[in-house]
Amino acid sequence: MKGTTSATAPSDVPAPAEGVRAWKEKFVSIEYCPIRTVINQIGDKWSVLILAVLGTRPHRFGELRREIDDISQRMLTQTLRDLQRDGLIARRVIPTVPPSVEYSVTALGQSLLEPMSRLIGWAEQHQAEIKRSRQRFDASVAPD
C-alpha cells in the first residue's frame, strides 16, 4: 500500500502540471487503481446529480424521483445503493405505514461535494467554449 492512508497532507492543490506528474503513476499502475474506481462511480449517469440534490437537504425516495423525474425507478434505486455502498450517502428507514426511506449525504459525501462543485463550476464556465469547439470540429470534419 502507499502512504496515503496516513493522510500526509498532499500539501495542497499543486500547480496542475506537477500534480499530474504525481498521479500519473498511480493511474497507470495496473495492480489497483483507486482513482479509476472512484471516477467510475461518480462518472455514471446519475451519481453526481443525486449527490447534488441530496446536498441541498435529505430527500425521501419518492421526492428524489419527482425532483429528477427523468430517471427510472431502477436507476434511482441502483445508484442510491451504490452511493450508499461507498459511504457517500446514508439510508434511514422510517417505520411508518407504509414505510418511508430517507437519504442524506454523509460526512464523506459532503467532503466530495467540494471538489465536485469545482468541477461543475468549471463545466458551467466553459460550456460555451466547448460547444463552439465542437461545432468547429464537426464542421471541419463533415463540411458537406
Partner DNA sequence: CCGAATCCAATCTGATACTG
Partner DNA sequence: CAGTATCAGATTGGATTCGG
Q: Residues 46, 88: contact at Cβ < 8 Å?
A: no
DSSP β-ladder status, 59-60 and 89-94? unpaired
Could you say whether residue 139 binds a copy of itself (CB under 8 A)? no
- Binding partner at 80 among DNA, a copy of itself, none, C-beta below 5 to 8 Å by kind: DNA
Could you say whether residue 4 binds DNA (CB under 7 A)? no
- Binding partner at 127 among DNA, a copy of itself, none, C-beta below 5 to 8 Å by kind: a copy of itself
What are the distances in angstroms from CA 68 to CA 64, 75, 89?
6, 11, 17
Among 3, 16, 98, 143, binds DNA (CB under 7 A): 98
Among 31, 95, 99, 125, binds a copy of itself (CB under 8 A): 125
Could you say whether residue 31 binds a copy of itself (CB under 8 A)? no
Among 52, 53, 71, 90, binds DNA (CB under 7 A): 71
What are the distances in angstroms from CA 13 to CA 18, 60, 69, 138?
10, 36, 37, 35
